[in-house]
Each structure stands twice: as structure tokens, then as C-alpha cells.
């Protein structure tokens, strides 16, 4: 049986980085936000046996129609948090695709084949450290992606963050929302330049 070809109604995304950078969390939050908007989602996580410090990535498909396979072979977008993930997944981005890149840990230069991509440069690790929590870098990447692609709405993404940081985790909600907003500002600026 032939695999269904990706349609304009589907958006295929790979998020990748080290375990402990919140890669899988960003994927879950995007799925939650898209589901709140009535979209179909597919989420396929993968991580090394070491987890923290090992590799982590997830394949997401967000669609207005039924999804037939959770595997992303060619991505419409990438969210890349470290150099090793760029080396592994960078070539999977389609021409004209959106690359949200943590430039604190990955160097974006034209010689790396990025001239046909829309690159959103986010110094996420550095900026998150400045606001007091390097762990909030993933929220900055999420915000940049949401603003750059409009794949889901800001309110849906923020609601997903709020819903995930309750109880004992609520103490880190303010810094995570601040990082998300900083990412939104970076993504919006990148989008306005296109």
C-alpha cells in the first residue's frame, strides 16, 4: 500500500536536542495547543538510553485531516536545540522550510546549506540564562516557532504551558511565560522580514 503523500493541510515537524533540554515537552505542548484548536496531531518521541545528556527528538504532524503515518521523512519545519541535532536532522528540512535554531549552541552560516530555508535565529540558552533559568530555553524556542509559523495560536500555546505547569511546578510558570514571550517576539520579527 502506498504511503499517503503529505498535503498542504499537514505540517511535518521535527524537534531535536539533548535529553534534558525539554525537546519532548515542546512537542507535547505543540500537540496540546493544536488539539485545543481542533486539529489532528501525531507525536512520535525518541530518546537515547541516557536520557539527560543523550539525544532526544520527536516527530510531530499537525493536520486538519486524518494522519496516516507518524514518521516525518521530510520536514516542513525543524526546531533544533544543539549542534549534533542539526548535523543529524538539518538535511531533512524541505526547501523553503522553517528552521528555528538555538544559535547559542548551533552556528548558522550560509555555508551550511541554509540559503533555501527560513532561519529563525534564537539565542535561547544564552537569553534563558539571562532571565534566570537556562531550562526555559525550550519555551523560548516554542514561542519563536509559534510566532514564525502561526501553526497554532499564541493563546492555545500559552494555555498549554499554563496547564502543564501546575501544582509544585507552578513556581517556574512566570519565567517560562517570560521566555515564551521573548521567543514570540523573536519569531514575529523574523516573520515580518519575510
Q: Could you read off the pLDDT tens digit of each residue along the chain, which spans 194 residues?
A: 334 444 458 999 999 999 889 999 999 999 999 999 999 999 999 977 555 667 899 999 999 999 999 999 999 999 999 999 999 999 999 999 999 999 999 987 655 667 778 999 999 999 999 999 999 999 999 999 999 999 999 999 999 999 999 999 999 999 999 999 999 999 999 888 76
Domain 10-192, architecture per CATH: 3-Layer(aba) Sandwich (3.40)
In terms of pTM, does the model score above 0.85?
Answer: yes
Please provide residue 3's backbone torsions phi and psi, each rounded to the nearest 5 degrees.
Answer: -70, 140
Rounded to whole angstroms, the Cα distance separating 190 from 172 reads 27
> Taking the alpha carbons of 4, 14, 66, 187 in that order, is the dihedral positive or negative?
negative
Query: Across the chain, how many H-helices and E-strands are there?
Result: 6, 6
Amino acid at each position: 500500500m502506498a504511503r499517503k503523500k503529505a498535503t498542504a493541510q499537514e505540517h511535518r515537524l521535527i524537534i531535536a536536542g539533548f535529553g534534558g533540554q525539554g525537546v519532548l515537552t515542546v512537542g507535547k505542548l505543540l500537540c496540546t495547543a493544536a488539539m485545543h484548536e481542533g486539529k489532528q496531531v501525531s507525536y512520535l518521541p525518541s530518546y537515547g538510553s541516557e536520557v539527560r545528556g543523550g539525544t532526544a527528538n520527536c516527530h510531530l504532524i499537525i493536520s486538519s485531516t486524518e494522519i496516516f503515518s507518524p514518521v516525518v521523512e521530510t520536514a516542513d519545519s525543524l526546531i533544533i536545540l544543539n549542534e549534533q541535532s542539526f548535523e543529524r536532522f538539518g538535511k531533512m528540512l524541505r526547501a523553503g522550510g522553517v528552521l528555528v535554531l538555538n544559535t547559542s549552541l548551533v552556528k548558522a552560516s550560509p555555508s551550511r546549506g541554509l540559503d533555501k530555508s527560513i532561519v529563525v535565529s534564537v539565542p535561547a540558552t544564552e537569553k534563558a540564562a539571562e532571565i534566570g533559568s537556562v531550562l526555559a530555553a525550550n519555551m523560548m524556542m516554542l514561542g519563536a516557532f509559534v510566532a514564525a509559523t502561526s501553526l497554532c495560536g499564541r493563546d492555545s500555546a500559552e494555555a498549554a504551558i499554563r496547564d502543564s505547569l501546575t501544582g509544585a511546578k507552578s513556581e517556574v510558570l512566570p519565567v517560562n511565560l517570560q521566555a515564551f514571550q521573548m521567543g514570540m517576539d523573536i519569531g514575529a520579527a523574523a516573520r515580518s522580514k519575510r
